[in-house]
Amino acid sequence: MNTTHEVFNQPPPLVDYNLFVSDRAVVDHLSHYPVGWASDLFTEFGERIGSSEVLAWGFESNRYPPVLQTHDPNGHRIDEVDFHPSYHSLMTLSMQYGLHSLPWENEAGAYVARAALFYLMAQVEAGHGCPISMTTSVVPSLRRQPDLAAIWEARITRNYDPSVRPAEFKAGVTFGMALTEKQGGSDVRSNTSGATEKSDGTYTITGHKWFCSAPMSDAFLVLAQAPGGLTCFLMPRWKPDGRRNEVSIQRLKDKLGNRSNASSEIEFREAFGERVGDEGDGVRVIVEMINHTRLDCVLGSAGLMRQAVVQATHHAAHRTAFGGILVDQPAMQNVLSDLALESEAATAVMLRIAHSFDSKGDAGEELFRRLATPVAKYWVTKRTPGLVYEALECLGGNGYVEESIMPRLFRESPVNAVWEGSGNVIALDVLRALEKSPETAEVFLVEVGRARGADTRLDRALDDLGTALQSAPSESRARYLVESMALALQASLLARHAPNEVADAFIASRLAGGRSGLYGSLPAAVDFRPIIDRARPNV
């Protein structure tokens, strides 16, 4: 009998493996931070999310996106969103491991530990990370109003409770954020939603929001114009008297990616809200939350990069073409090595910035965080789509079909560059920080300068960066400056904490000139094999 459907020369399924243990880069870079207490947690979580069951949750929650139910069968307005059970399973798992709460549980190095866990989970399913991120990030802003913080922080537990009822009756809550409006986007000062104070000190808010991610959250931070100016408010889904708040979900966004997450447009009709901070202080209050969500943009993008590299290296290690295994062929080795360098650099910088969030009360670390967070947010998120695309191409046609994870990674890859400020907004924020607090430049240069003497090419790049930061950068060159800062920081971290072959190849290709705009253009002298072996999941 002639067999026409024998399957051969295909890589084995990449399932039931430990995402943490198989990631040498994150294991090594974590060793430089005080997170020894979380070692077993990382290993346990990495094993769990690499299981066939959890990986399937990621596919299912995107294959069956959320559905808006505006009314019940009797015509009453309910404004509820139905999710696939796999989405709820992912939320339950992430909250059990404290991805939404670890920084506020008073463990040393908790930001770094949580960063590693968030990065791992982003490799499996990124959409549900939105409410996880906002629940983590709301706390610093909420603490601007201690009476509200005392009530709501206690409700942030490790229990996921998707039931639709007032927060005081739930086992745990999640938070959302609604800032942008259709006429303004990132320009929140142009918001038109209005707030009127009542005699009891609460407010009624009327207006709309063009983007409200996670509309099933139990409470939201929103911006609205009060008599004293743009102000931040806490808006719960239920009012104190037990009635639903006047928050109407108009529609869910039909998005490129992030499809498991129910981003929406909402309207308020004299909705109940409580002020967070002073009237007119809304931007300063909400910036506390945004700085934390920008960190999560870096974490999420680094996770997408890592999963793309895992898929590409795994495929190449098991696929034969043109008489040999792909991973042994020089052209493919150059591409895979280049992708691996980009991924490890993103991993290193995300952990370093997370460490600066852990260093509460350290003035130098606070200045570093103010500058490094937008620098990394700009660069890492922008590098992600190109990396994911190139990794997808390594799989050929197999990477273009939905049975692989690559199309989902590719659709997901632009979102973090858009969310919480697109490229120009972020680059200009860096200039604003340099102008407002010139000492941030000095602190940044001290940090990158910790690698001085390790490589003369890096030393020259640091000299050039120092000169650039001493001048008055123009807005038209803001992107170039931020790119230079990001590469210097990544190169410095790799020179200090990564194997010599990784640091050398990164510096040679990113700082020493001759860089192509595409991956796979590393100098011929680079030793590809150890870089690839370090990045492969070895399963």
pLDDT, tens digit, for every residue of 14-47? 999 999 999 999 999 999 999 999 999 999 999 9
Q: What is the per-residue pLDDT for 286?
A: 95
Q: What is the per-residue pLDDT for 5?
A: 82
Mean pLDDT, range 470-485, rounded to an integer: 93
- 335-348 pLDDT, tens digit each: 999 999 999 999 99
Whether the CB-CB separation of 98 and 104 falls below 8 Å is answered with no
Neighbours of 248 (CB within 10 A): 17
Query: What angle do helix axes 478-497 and 500-510 make, rounded to 10 degrees?
Result: 160
Q: What is the per-residue pLDDT for 194?
A: 97
- 501-530 pLDDT, tens digit each: 999 999 999 999 766 789 999 999 999 999
Mean of all residue pLDDT scores within the chain: 96
Beta strands in 152-240 (DSSP E): 175-178, 194-197, 203-212, 219-226, 229-236
Percent of the chain residues past pLDDT 70, beyond the cut: 99
Distance between CA atoms of residues 179 and 188, nearest Å: 7
Mean pLDDT, range 61-80, rounded to an integer: 97
- 381-412 pLDDT, tens digit each: 999 999 999 999 999 999 999 999 999 999 99
Q: What is the per-residue pLDDT for 463?
A: 98
